[in-house]
Amino acid sequence: MKFHALDLSQQEPLNRQISNIIVRKIAGKELGVGDKLPPEEDLCKTFNVSRFTVREAMARLVKDGYLSRRQNHGTVVISSAPARKRKIGLVAFLDEEYIDTFDQIQIFHPWHYGAAAAIEEKIKGGVSFTLAKIIHKGNEESFKKNINGLDGLLAVGANDKQLEMLNRSGLPFVLIGDVSGQASPDAKYDIVSDDPFSGIYKVVKHLADLGHRKILFIASNRDKFTWTRENLAGYKKALGEAKIPFNNGLVVDTKDYDIFEAYFAMKKYLQKNPPAFTALAGMAEFVCLGAVRALREKNIKVPADVSIASATYSAKFTCASYDIAKVGSAALEKLEKKIKKPASKPTRVLLPLDLVTRGSTKKI
């Protein structure tokens, strides 16, 4: 089979020229479904290019649905037309009326935004999906309208009611993060999240390794939700391994999950108790920030008087961190499998966190 020579004067990359030449051969029926392309080595000689360039061209045609490549079987034409790109929706369920764009989510829900940005970047990098970003604050009818024509959904910030709505949609979906307000993860749904046990365990272990024996833990609704119970379990595990007895008097439980509740809870604790602890572990950065404000009012300095660490990512405190891009990539990969095999068994994937030390902790 003869192929046109490449035009070296063009700005179009050589690998794209090769893929376009082969597509024209398929469209012109010179290559039919089931026909095998020449070996890679022959194509390199024909086009006078490197093996890397040929592989890039073939990979593009495989991704577009024209070809199939299998070891020991060669490269075969499997379609005379490009595969339809599946369209998926990234749904952010929000309560705030003042948030209308994903850029605004970056300010108020950085975890949601980070996952969304990672998914978008992954799709731009060559995954055969197109992405619709949806902020949902309305009723079920508006939700149905927004997801019309989609092949699957990735959802962040869903509560029980919204989970039911996702289920009624009939579309395959994957939850990014556990269901908000749910007492335990639902085994009926696919979930990708960070590991709340791993986060608090690693920072408390770090504090214990620094010599701290009285480590205060600031939680929120510690017995109510999946992640808060797993936080507490991680705290207890790290204490136990360090031979430090668990003391319920060193657990401060905030009423809600925000900086102001953490501040008031810490302030109330300090009014009733002398600051006998030498370290503090918070379930998130804003909890630590609220605690620091209360400590400053008592002239307690960080880390001179008290070391502080966060169980999730923090730019200010020693923390347990993870690559948010991995959360987005794992969710996207899981959704792709779910679309192909809707009856596959749901799983909850927890991504471990790594310790990042900053200047908020010190050895005693």
Show the tokens assigned to 181: 């307000």
DSSP class of 53: H
For residue range 277-305, what is the model confidence (pLDDT) as tens digits? 999 999 888 899 999 999 999 999 999 99
Q: What is the mean pLDDT of the chain?
A: 88
Closest Cα to residue 187, out of 179, 195, 196?
179
In the predicted structure, residue 184 carries a pLDDT above the cut 60: no
In the predicted structure, residue 115 carries a pLDDT above the cut 70: yes
Within 125-253, residue ranges assigned H as helices are: 140-147, 160-168, 196-209, 226-241
| Phi-psi label, residue 154: left if phi above 0, alpha if psi -120 to 50, beta otherwise | beta
- E strand segments, the chain: 67-70, 74-77, 86-93, 129-136, 152-156, 173-176, 190-194, 215-220, 251-254, 279-282, 307-310, 318-321, 348-351, 354-356
Q: Say whether 132 sits in a helix, a strand or coil.
A: strand
Show the tokens assigned to 232: 């507490």
Closest Cα to residue 136, out of 113, 112, 155?
155
Which pTM was predicted? Answer: 0.67
- CA 349 to chain CA centroid, Å, is 10
Q: What pLDDT does 52 receive?
A: 95
- Residue pair 203/281 in contact by the 8 Å Cβ criterion: yes
- Distant-in-sequence contacts of 23-32, Cβ < 8 A, 24+ apart: 23/61, 23/66, 25/1, 26/66, 26/77, 26/80, 27/80, 29/80, 30/1, 31/1, 31/77, 32/77, 32/80
β-pairing, 74-77 with 307-310? Answer: unpaired
In the predicted structure, residue 227 carries a pLDDT above the cut 60: yes
Q: What pLDDT does 215 receive?
A: 98
For residue range 194-204, what is the model confidence (pLDDT) as tens digits? 888 899 999 99
CA distance 319 to 288: 10
Q: What pLDDT does 182 receive?
A: 55
What domains sit in the chain, N to C, each tagged with a CATH number? Answer: 14-77 (1.10.10.10), 86-195+323-351 (3.40.50.2300), 196-321 (3.40.50.2300)
Query: 99 pairs with which residues across the strands?
Result: none
For residue range 126-154, what is the model confidence (pLDDT) as tens digits? 666 888 999 998 789 999 999 999 999 99
In the predicted structure, residue 185 carries a pLDDT above the cut 60: no
Show the tokens assigned to 20: 């376009």
